[in-house]
Structure 1
């Protein structure tokens, strides 16, 4: 790869954690997500048009013996397979960044504010453990970001369903029963093929914004002793 040795790293994670690095990372994630969405949307439009032509060609047939299902099948694959995999990947990447950044904030706060306990001493795991640590040890007030946290709690459940069950709502029926209810009552979610969770591109974009807002709030030096 050709680039200047003196050029600053293009990867936000390679630089110190700040409100600016958060904004840059989310910007990159959005760009990557939207670019792939656009590719599939263009293919989807082409297959829809081709299938309409096929429907017109065979509209007077008595049955579908001569109907070419190639286009409708390709369309179904895009909607049920490729877009699902793409959006699953986006959610896992975003959640990983959220959890890692929260853990970094905990570590930096511990050091800068000279606190004995680490977030690792707290029970649980993931973003819930980090939040609990920041609330109890750093006295962070989360009132201003309650709505964002509620959305991130659902994101956490979605991540677990994807990570541990490949999006299969039945992978652990007892444990995930609550999440299945959320899926069936949440505007951005739907259940496909009787067991898999699917969600709109709007949901992913909404989560980009929620994560950025939540982390930007926490990276206020007055809250956790982290430099901008």
Structure 2
């Protein structure tokens, strides 16, 4: 009976149920990602070496640079977009649920703020009256992730396509020691940075969900 109690106390329209599954799936994928990256690189090299039989090494040596640099970059970059999108969509769903639960007329769209995470905090504090908000360190990390996410989503990681201020912001992130690189005007997101970002997103969402579940009596 004890194992059923938490289930019976849960509102099944609560989006946190699905969000927790999505977090598990994305973290699991990330934990095995580098095996897939390595396999993709090995397959590419094997195919290209077969095509290059009889050629001088200098004629096909470029394939090793592509395998070592380009393929991992191409595979890893979109995952940062997915990680941030999971955060953004999850909080939006949770706050929509909270709006209905609290019977508030104002929705998230009615709040003005300089960024979506700032809007989240403002809505939780001023509309929902939550004793919870994303911390300053979390907000700083999210701001960094958003800048990188936008570079990937809008410019496919091509720094030359950014305006000067956005280019400088990316370079500053790199200079501050983040596990990213900018080489030949291309952004490269390391697996380590993806893992760090995932942990920030996971921790932030779970903290918000714990607060909501306590407030609404789900545990």
Give the TM-score category using the shorter length: 0.7 to 0.9
How far is the alpha carbon of 1:138 from its aligned partner?
Answer: 2.5
Structure 1 residues 126 and 43 mapped into 2: Cα distance closer, same or farther (>3 Å)? same
Match of 1:17 among 15, 22, 26: 15
TM-score (norm 1): 0.71
Q: Which runs of 5+ in 1 are unaligned?
A: 1-13, 49-64
Instruction: Give the corresponding residue for 1:29.
Output: 26
The residue aligned with 2:79 is 90
Q: Work out whether residues 119 and 130 of structure 1, in 8 Å CA contact, stay in contact via their aligned partners in 2.
A: yes
Structural RMSD (CA): 3.1
Instruction: Indicate if the aligned counterparts of 1:184 and 1:190 stay in contact, CA closer than 8 A.
Output: no
The residue number in structure 2 matching 1:56 is: none
Give, in angstroms, the shift of residue 15 of structure 1: 7.4
2:197 is matched with which residue? Answer: 207
> CA contact under 8 A between 1:134 and 1:140: conserved in structure 2?
yes
- C-alpha displacement of 1:32: 2.2
C-alpha change, 1:80 and 1:146, in structure 2 (3 Å) is same
Distance in 1 of aligned mates of 2:192 and 2:96? 33
Aligned residue pairs total 196
The equivalent position to 2:212 in structure 1, one of 200, 218, 221, is: 221
User: Is the contact between residue 124 and residue 133 of structure 2 (CA under 8 Å) also seen in structure 1?
Assistant: no
Aligned residue among 118, 124, 127 for 1:134: 124
The answer (yes or no) to whether the contact 2:134–2:204 under 8 Å persists in 1 is no
Structure 2: state its 5+ residue gaps.
Answer: 1-11, 46-54
